Amino acid sequence: MSLETATYLADLQPANPPSTDPTSQGDDHLRLIKQVLQTTFPGGSRVYPVPTTLAKTANYTIVKNDGEGVIYVSTAGGAVTLTLPTLAAVDQGWKINFIKTSLDVNPVFISPAAGTLNSGGYAGLARARRCIPGARSTAVWDGAAWFVTRVSPAPIGVLLDFYGSTLPAGYEWPNGQTLASVATNYPEYNAAVGSGLTPDIRGRTATTLDTLGGLDASRLTTSPSIGAGRNTLGTGGGLAGVGLVVGNIPAVTPTGTNTQPSVSFSINTRNSNYQVVGGGSVPLADTSALNGTTTAIASPSAVSVSGGGWTPNSIYTASPSAHENMPPTLICGKILVVE
């Protein structure tokens, strides 16, 4: 029987060669099988392991044969360090996957056997931190260096709204705290921010830099509480309530005709010793001790008084109280992406 044509494994015919073929034709079949294997697995210079799973609860040094597998890590008993194997240039493309299975806040650290690694685009790190549970991270060897993928797609340093009171594993509160031993415990955050300092967003809303992206909008130049800090990350300012001072309140002057009207009122006298004396705006006077004629006023009596115009003064509101300066607000939490 003639030799089949095959390029990949799927092209080979398991029934060939039939027993009726001459033995010499077996050499042709062997050569065909070799060619198909090399075409199907180009560059096959190492073991192609079958993916497996491992479960770890303590520090573990990964071996080459663990490649393509998944390591499930529980950190319920404390932080766990996984050490990557020592590989050669011909091992490029080797990879291993990690998934943290416990909900605690203890991290998984991924360290190279020697040298440094790259994590989330940051090079020269002694190790990578992975604390978010239930998500996969992968370490890949490119023949010369390690690259470890991140779990969260959000850039390190992002603030996320969080409607909860318990800090989720893998994040931190942006409350002005300084992350302890940041280079060791939060290597990616340290590389991104340059320190372990977190922003203090407590009771504040966020306003962008006036020089965002290098272009100065000059929109916060008149803010007395922000001032020159408008171009500096972490500057705080603003007030929840504002108490106005006299200098902030404009004078109010009434306009129009200001003519004093006639006024009528009743006086209830108890004796005849009171009389109207003088004129104009002179009030009733007690004349009981004076010489002269007294004029009795019936009780009660109506007295009409009239006068001229008057000039108003400027009117100010005295002793103002603080007024609210907040827009409609919903109180919620914030969490900080640190790995």
Q: What is the mean pLDDT of each run of 10 residues along the chain (339 residues)?
A: 84 86 84 90 77 95 94 98 96 95 97 96 96 97 97 94 94 96 97 95 86 84 77 79 73 60 47 44 47 45 47 52 79 94
Domain boundary (153, 171, 193) is at 193
Whole-number pLDDT of residue 253: 64
Going by C-alpha positions, the residue among 62, 6, 73 that lies closest to residue 35 is 6
- Are 92 and 14 found together in one domain? no
Considering the domain architecture, whether residues 29 and 93 belong to the same structural domain is answered as: no
20 and 83 part of one domain: no
Mark whether 130 and 18 lie in a shared domain. no
Same domain, 90 and 115: yes
Partnered with residue 53 across adjacent β-strands are 70
Per-residue pLDDT, 187: 97
Q: Tell me how many domains the chain contains.
A: 2
Pair 78, 17 in one domain: no
Q: Which of 193, 220, 239 is the last residue of a domain?
A: 193
Q: Is residue 156, in this structure, part of any structural domain at all? A: yes
| Same-domain check for residues 65 and 185 | yes
DSSP labels for 149-205? Answer: --S-SSPTT-EEEE--SSPPTTEE--BS-B-TTHHHH-HHHHHHHSSSB--B-TT--
Find out whether the peptide bond into 300 is cis, omega within 30 degrees of 0: yes
Do 59 and 178 reside in the same domain of the chain?
yes
Per the domain annotation, does 113 fall within a domain? Answer: yes
Task: Examine residue 339 and state whether it is found in any structural domain, yes or no.
Answer: no
Question: Cα separation of 196 and 191, whole Å?
Answer: 10
Tokens 């073929």 label which residue? 21
> Structural domain of residue 152, as residue ranges?
53-193
Question: Are 116 and 138 within one domain?
Answer: yes
Residue 262 counted as domain residue: no
Residue 63 forms part of a structural domain: yes
Asked, for residue 332, whether it belongs to a domain, the answer is no
Q: Is residue 229 part of a domain?
A: no
36 and 57 in a single domain? The answer is no
pLDDT given for residue 301 in this prediction: 46
Q: Which of 138, 72, 152 is nearest to 110 (CA)?
A: 138
Residue 174 lies in a domain: yes
Same domain, 130 and 185: yes
Omega within 30 of 0 (cis) for the link into 17: yes
The answer on 184 and 64 residing in a single domain is yes
Choose one of 138, 158, 193: the last residue of a domain: 193
pTM: 0.69
Q: How far apart are the first and last CA of the chain?
A: 63
- How many whole angstroms separate alpha carbon 132 and alpha carbon 103? 8
- Beta-ladder partners of 290: none
